[in-house]
Each structure stands twice: as structure tokens, then as C-alpha cells.
């Protein structure tokens, strides 16, 4: 128990510790110290007046404590040494709650979408193109930054387009219609080729071969099945007007990875380009709507495409970070 009582150690802290060691050892009722131990204790006390004084102080302290009313002292020490006085005020609780909400509410809004995308059956990252042959021999191509879920059963083949753009070449089977669904509506085809591009507020259907029927999500809106070379915007609430597009131009994108546009508003061009670019294009759509683009742009190199656009239009392109590119209109002087 008593490890050292060497005379060199005179530091007051170690004297207190040694004195405490002796006092504890000497006060064990069940294991009374032997005569030799008692003598050693006496010797230690006599060795140095400081030793004697330290033992005296401890014994006085313990003697005093013994005189304290027992139950009241016990209550006092249990209360004050428990964490009771560390309790949080309501203010602290309220602040913690608000902070948690600020963190969790966006997470609950953002996470389900992210998880759905992460769990998607097939997906491509930015700049990536993939082609898959499904079990029914239909071929599906995913453009950059796209994701789908495949849901086939006996009566229907369903593709859920979660994000981005796909081109489908359907293997004919009248018993099992082939349906592409997005949050905006459904596109039903029987043995045909078409592309579907999901954008933020609508889904763009382009029919390349045979016919495709389009319906929107909410009301039972219908339109005559679309013919090759026809396109339509499917909004959640209604269908847009059927218009024509060039199949050859559209195929350039899938075959050559080039975006062929003819009179497309500049803001739309930028939206498409952004899907092939790892960062975010920041622009105000309003002033860009008035500029119409007719060009062939390289989709594999969206930065080069952007420079091409900046050469022909009064645009100012600012790269704030690799992830953030601001595009503004500079009126010509």
C-alpha cells in the first residue's frame, strides 16, 4: 500500500498523498494494522514535522466529518455531486431543438429523392453513356446523368425514368405494352423507337419510329398517338402541343454525342448542356429566352460548347469554382 516513504520526497503534494495512504491503511477496522506497520507509521510521522502535520490535518478533517449529522450530510452531498445542477434551461433545449430541425428537415426532404436515385436499377453519371438490352430484347440507352427503374411483369413492361434522358428501341409484343413513366405522365408504345427526356417541369417525348401514346399524370388527358418525327411536352397537369422535330438531328445526339439545335431558346440549350457538365450552370432564363440557337454543340465537352455559344451570343461566362459557372447576358454596346 505505502509505496514510498523515502526522505527525499518532500514535495507537499506527495506528503499529503503519503499521509492519506497511511491514514487509510491504519483506519481499516477489518484488517487492523500489524505492530510492525504501526511502528512504521510512527517512524514516518517522526521523520519530518511536515509528515506529522499532514497526518494531523487529515485526522482532524475526518474527525470533523464524523461529527456532521449523517443523513443531512448524505442528502447534501448526493444532491450537489449529482448532475442535478447541470440541468439544461428551457432556452438551451429550445435552441437545440431548433438546430436539430434546421439540420433534419432538409435531410428528410432531400434524402428520399437521393436514396431513390442511389437505389435505381440502372444509372449513369455525368458524361457517361450506357446501353442496356433488357430481358425482352428491348434496347435502352441512358444519356449522361440519368437513372431508371425497370419493372416488368406478365401484363406490362414499365420503365420508371427518374432522371435524365433515355432512348428506347422496343421489342414488339402486343400482349405486353411497353410504358415509360415519369412523375409527369406515361408514354405507351407497341414496338417502336422513341426518346424520353425528363426535365424539371415536363417530360419531352420524341417519336422516332411507329407510334407512341402520351398521357399526363393528373387528369385523363389524351392525345392522338404521335407519329415519327413528332414531339410533345408532357406536363403533370396537361399535355403540350404536338410539334415536329428532325429525327436525323435528334439521332446525332445518341450516335455522335452532338447536340443539333435549330432555333432553340438559349436557356433550353443551357439546360441540356448542364446535364453533361459536372458543375452547375447558373443563369437567369428570362433574358436568354429571346436568343435562338441554331448550332451543333459537342456534348462530350460542355465547356467547349459553352465557349462556342459565348462567341456567337453576348454572354459573359464566369467560372466561380469548377462546380459553379455563372452565365449572364451582356448587352452589346
Partner 1 sequence: MVQPFNMSSNKQIVFDQPSYKNSFIASLYENHHYWLTGWLSKKLGCSQNASDLTHDTFVNVISKQNDLTQIREPRPWLLTIAKRLLIDKRRRFLLEQAYLEELKLSLDDAEPIPSTEDVYLVINALSTISEALETLPSHVRQAFILRHIDGLTQSAIGKKLGVSTTMVQKYLIQSLVACQQAFETETF
Binding site for partner 1 (CB under 8 A): 1, 13, 16-17, 20-21, 23-25, 28-31, 57-58, 61-62, 64-66, 68-81, 84-86
> Secondary structure of the chain: what % helix, strand, coil (to 5)?
40, 30, 30
Q: How far is the CB of 58 from partner 1 (least distance, A)?
A: 6
Nearer to partner 1, 23 or 260 (CB): 23
Q: How far is the CB of 311 from partner 1 (least distance, A)?
A: 55
Q: How far is the CB of 8 from partner 1 (least distance, A)?
A: 20
Distance of alpha carbon 252 from alpha carbon 270, whole angstroms: 18
Distance of alpha carbon 2 from alpha carbon 18, whole angstroms: 7
Q: How far is the CB of 37 from partner 1 (least distance, A)?
A: 14
Nearer to partner 1, 61 or 118 (CB): 61
Nearer to partner 1, 40 or 223 (CB): 40
Let me know: does 261 contact 269? Beta carbons within 8 Å: yes
Nearer to partner 1, 13 or 244 (CB): 13
Q: How far is the CB of 81 from partner 1 (least distance, A)?
A: 5
Nearer to partner 1, 22 or 202 (CB): 22
3-state secondary structure 128-149: CCEEEECCCCCEEEECCCCEEE
Q: CA separation (Å) from 243 to 204, 213, 231?
A: 11, 15, 5
Q: CA separation (Å) from 306 to 60, 96, 270, 295?
A: 87, 46, 8, 12
Q: How far is the CB of 289 from partner 1 (least distance, A)?
A: 54
Nearer to partner 1, 73 or 137 (CB): 73
Q: DSSP assignment, residue 226? A: B
Distance of alpha carbon 118 from alpha carbon 147, whole angstroms: 9
Tell me the Ramachandran region of residue 221: left when phi exceeds 0, alpha when psi lies from -120 to 50, beta otherwise: beta
Q: How far is the CB of 26 from partner 1 (least distance, A)?
A: 11
Nearer to partner 1, 13 or 311 (CB): 13
Give the DSSP H or E segment for 253. Answer: helix 247-256
Let me know: does 141 contact 131? Beta carbons within 8 Å: yes
Amino acid at each position: 500500500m505505502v509505496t514510498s516513504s523515502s526522505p527525499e520526497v518532500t514535495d507537499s503534494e506527495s506528503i499529503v498523498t503519503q499521509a492519506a495512504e497511511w491514514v487509510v491503511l491504519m483506519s481499516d477496522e477489518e484488517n487492523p494494522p500489524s505492530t510492525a506497520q504501526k511502528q512504521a507509521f510512527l517512524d514516518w510521522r517522526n521523520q519530518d514535522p511536515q509528515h506529522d502535520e499532514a497526518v494531523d490535518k487529515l485526522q482532524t478533517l475526518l474527525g470533523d466529518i464524523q461529527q456532521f449529522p449523517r443523513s443531512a450530510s448524505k442528502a447534501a452531498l448526493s444532491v450537489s455531486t449529482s448532475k442535478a445542477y447541470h440541468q439544461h434551461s428551457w432556452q438551451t433545449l429550445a435552441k437545440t431543438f431548433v438546430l436539430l430541425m434546421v439540420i433534419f428537415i432538409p435531410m428528410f426532404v432531400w434524402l428520399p429523392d437521393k436514396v431513390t436515385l442511389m437505389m435505381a436499377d440502372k444509372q449513369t453519371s455525368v458524361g457517361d453513356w450506357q446501353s442496356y438490352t433488357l430481358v425482352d430484347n428491348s434496347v435502352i440507352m441512358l444519356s449522361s446523368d440519368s437513372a431508371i427503374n425497370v419493372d416488368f411483369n406478365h401484363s406490362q413492361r414499365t420503365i420508371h425514368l427518374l432522371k435524365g434522358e433515355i432512348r428506347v428501341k422496343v421489342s414488339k409484343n402486343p400482349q405486353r405494352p411497353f410504358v415509360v413513366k415519369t412523375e409527369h405522365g406515361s408514354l405507351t408504345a407497341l414496338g417502336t423507337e422513341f426518346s424520353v427526356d425528363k426535365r424539371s417541369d415536363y417530360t419531352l417525348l420524341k417519336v422516332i419510329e411507329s407510334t407512341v401514346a402520351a398521357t399526363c399524370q393528373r387528369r385523363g388527358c389524351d392525345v392522338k398517338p404521335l407519329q415519327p418525327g413528332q414531339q410533345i411536352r408532357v406536363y403533370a397537369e396537361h399535355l403540350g402541343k404536338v410539334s415536329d422535330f428532325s429525327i436525323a438531328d435528334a439521332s446525332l445526339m445518341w450516335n455522335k454525342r452532338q447536340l443539333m439545335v435549330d432555333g432553340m431558346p438559349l436557356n433550353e440549350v443551357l439546360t441540356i448542356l448542364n446535364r453533361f457538365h459536372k458543375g452547375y450552370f447558373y443563369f437567369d432564363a428570362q433574358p436568354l429566352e429571346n436568343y435562338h440557337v441554331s448550332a451543333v454543340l459537342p456534348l462530350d465537352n460542355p465547356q467547349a460548347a459553352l465557349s462556342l455559344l459565348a462567341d456567337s451570343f453576348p454572354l459573359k461566362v464566369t467560372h466561380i469554382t469548377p462546380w459553379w459557372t455563372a452565365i449572364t447576358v451582356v448587352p452589346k454596346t
